[in-house]
């Protein structure tokens, strides 16, 4: 594990650590379902949190990627469509998906990083004229202390916070971070607890809890990468769609084609598979979109069928029949006046 010098002006309080009974000087991290037992400088499963001095964050403030992205790239299709978003990535992850497309930052802590205190992040976004910040790319929630500081500051400056996460976090931590977030995209990677645990190193039940809890307070979208011979069966896709619909049938579901990455080398998902899953999910969900195939992904008014948003290549987004009617943060159909599920 790389070790970096935390900046002198970066002060943090490590949280979610507790002394571990019967383990002299050891601590338990209670942030996520792994509940790692850590002795001394040992790092947890995520590589980003250690047991040093009762619990330490050796990567506090270290950012592996900084970019300005279209918000559609997160993907978020129903939150501030067409906007650009300041996007930050970190190092480490509390899951180990063998098909991870960002494994160079999620599965190692040796990637190049830059140190930023939260004030610098928010100031940079402000200088660029951006009104939202995304915490994304690897798994942001293992850096929850840093996120909470950035998010609080961003809110104070009138910015929105977008979280892109695997959702694999314990309820107490979820309850603390969700109120600071405005919109979230959660990965629902499959619908098998066994596969979550044995192949991905995560917990399906924690992710389901997170999606439910987030949907009670903030804008939620869900993404599933469809992987041949892993989760591309109709029954499993139906279960994913059924679960999302049980939370709310207006949650957009992004059904994305996989391409080989990291340790997974089966051929890419066929477009027909994605389109078939989308068609079946459309019986349960109002908004299903595809990723990594050329499918257009328009959004129509569910009442009159007006084309609300047209999407093209390279995240090109054209807002057509959408109007802001009240100060309620919701768009309405410009043709028939129906309230849409799209927020600004
Ligand atoms: S956040 Fe990291 S250290 Fe904490 S329990 Fe999860 S994997 Fe372990
Ligand atoms: S949860 Fe996301 S970042 Fe983490 S290993 Fe899986 S795909 Fe990669």
Ligand 1 binding pocket includes 46 (Cβ within 6 Å) = yes
Burial (CB count <10 Å: 0-12, 13-18, 19+), residue 226: buried
How far is 197 from 146, CA to CA, in rounded Å?
27
Q: Provide the pLDDT confidence category of residue 294 given band limits of 50, 70 and 90.
A: confident
| Residue whose CA lies nearest to ligand 2 atom number 7 | 100
Ligand 1 binding pocket includes 59 (Cβ within 6 Å) = no
Mutate to test the pocket of ligand 2, among 45, 47, 100, 264 (most ligand atoms within 8 A of CB): 100
pLDDT digits (tens, 9 = 90+) for 326-340: 888 999 999 999 999
Report residues whose beta carbon is within 6 angstroms of any ligand 2 atom.
Answer: 93, 95-97, 100, 102, 106, 138-139, 166
DSSP 77: S
Query: Does the pLDDT of residue 325 top 90, yes or no?
Result: no
How far is 207 from 211, CA to CA, in rounded Å?
6
Is 74 within 8 Å of 164 (Cβ atoms)?
Answer: yes
pLDDT digits (tens, 9 = 90+) for 203-258: 999 999 999 999 999 999 999 999 999 999 999 999 999 999 999 999 999 999 99
Expressed in angstroms and rounded, the spacing between residue 96 Cα and the centre of ligand 2 is 6
How far is 69 from 88, CA to CA, in rounded Å?
10
Query: Does the pLDDT of residue 1 top 60, yes or no?
Result: no
Can you give the pLDDT at residue 154? 98
Q: Provide the pLDDT confidence category of residue 3 given band limits of 50, 70 and 90.
A: low
Query: Does the pLDDT of residue 11 top 80, yes or no?
Result: no
User: Could you give the angle at the alpha carbon of 209 between the alpha carbons of 206 and 214, nearest 5°?
Assistant: 125
- Residue 28 has phi, psi (to 5 degrees) of -115, 130
| Residue whose CA lies nearest to ligand 1 atom number 2 | 46
Strand partners, 221: 185
CA dihedral 165, 314, 72, 244 (to 10 degrees): -70
Can you give the pLDDT at residue 4? 60
**Six-digit token pair at 324?**
């802001």
Query: Does the pLDDT of residue 7 top 80, yes or no?
Result: no
How far is 276 from 237, CA to CA, in rounded Å?
10
Can you give the pLDDT at residue 8? 66
Share of the chain above pLDDT 90, in %: 90
Pick the closest to residue 343 from 332, 333, 330, 325 (CA basis). 330
Q: Provide the pLDDT confidence category of residue 10 given band limits of 50, 70 and 90.
A: confident
pLDDT digits (tens, 9 = 90+) for 122-154: 999 999 999 999 999 999 999 999 999 999 999
Expressed in angstroms and rounded, the spacing between residue 49 Cα and the centre of ligand 1 is 7
Which residue segments constitute the domains of the chain, with CATH numbers given?
A: 62-296 (3.20.20.70), 298-344 (no CATH)
Strand 132-136 and strand 322-324: pairing? Answer: unpaired
Expressed in angstroms and rounded, the spacing between residue 23 Cα and the centre of ligand 2 is 30
Pick the closest to residue 226 from 296, 281, 273, 166 (CA basis). 273
Ligand 1 binding pocket includes 285 (Cβ within 6 Å) = no
DSSP 153-217: HHHHTT-EEEEEE-----HHHHHHHGGG-SEEEEE---S-HHHIIIIISS-HHHHHHHHHHHHTT
Can you give the pLDDT at residue 12? 82
Query: Does the pLDDT of residue 275 top 70, yes or no?
Result: yes
Q: pTM of the entire structure?
A: 0.96
Peptide bond into 78 cis (omega under 30): no
> Mean pLDDT for the chain?
95
Place of tokens 């000087």: 25
Expressed in angstroms and rounded, the spacing between residue 196 Cα and the centre of ligand 2 is 12
Lowest mean pLDDT among 71-85, 103-117, 218-232: 103-117
Query: Does the pLDDT of residue 118 top 70, yes or no?
Result: yes
Expressed in angstroms and rounded, the spacing between residue 183 Cα and the centre of ligand 1 is 24
């Amino acid at each position: 594990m790389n070790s970096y010098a935390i900046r002198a002006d970066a002060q943090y309080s490590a949280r979610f650590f507790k002394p571990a009974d019967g383990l002299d000087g050891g601590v338990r991290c209670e942030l996520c379902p792994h509940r790692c037992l850590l002795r001394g400088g040992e790092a947890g499963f995520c590589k980003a949190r250690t047991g040093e001095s009762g619990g330490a964050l050796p990567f506090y403030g270290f950012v592996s990627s900084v970019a300005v992205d279209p918000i559609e790239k997160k993907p978020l299709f129903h939150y501030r469509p067409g906007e650009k978003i300041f996007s930050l990535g970190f190092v480490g992850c509390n899951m180990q998906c063998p098909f991870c497309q960002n494994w160079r930052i999620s599965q190692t802590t040796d990637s190049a990083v830059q140190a930023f205190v939260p004030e610098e992040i928010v100031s940079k976004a402000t200088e660029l004229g951006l009104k939202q910040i995304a915490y994304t790319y690897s798994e942001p929630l293992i850096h929850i202390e840093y996120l909470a500081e950035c998010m609080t500051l961003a809110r104070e400056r009138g910015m929105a916070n977008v979280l892109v996460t695997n959702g694999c976090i314990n309820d107490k931590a979820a309850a603390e971070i969700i109120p600071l977030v405005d919109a979230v995209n959660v990965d629902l990677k499959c619908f098998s607890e066994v596969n979550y645990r044995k192949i991905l190193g995560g917990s399906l039940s924690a992710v389901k809890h997170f999606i439910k809890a987030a949907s009670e307070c903030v804008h939620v979208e869900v993404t599933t990468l469809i992987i041949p011979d892993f989760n591309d069966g109709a029954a499993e896709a139906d279960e994913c769609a059924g679960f999302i619909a049980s939370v709310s049938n207006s949650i957009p579901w992004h059904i994305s084609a996989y391409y080989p990455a990291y340790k997974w080398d089966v051929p890419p998902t066929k477009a027909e598979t994605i389109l078939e899953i989308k068609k079946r999910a459309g019986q349960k969900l109002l908004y299903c979109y595809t990723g990594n195939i050329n499918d257009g992904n328009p959004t129509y008014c569910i009442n009159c069928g007006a084309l609300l948003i047209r999407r093209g290549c390279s995240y090109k987004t054209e807002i057509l029949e959408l109007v802001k009617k009240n100060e309620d943060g919701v768009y309405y159909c410009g043709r028939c006046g129906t309230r849409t599920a799209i927020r600004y």
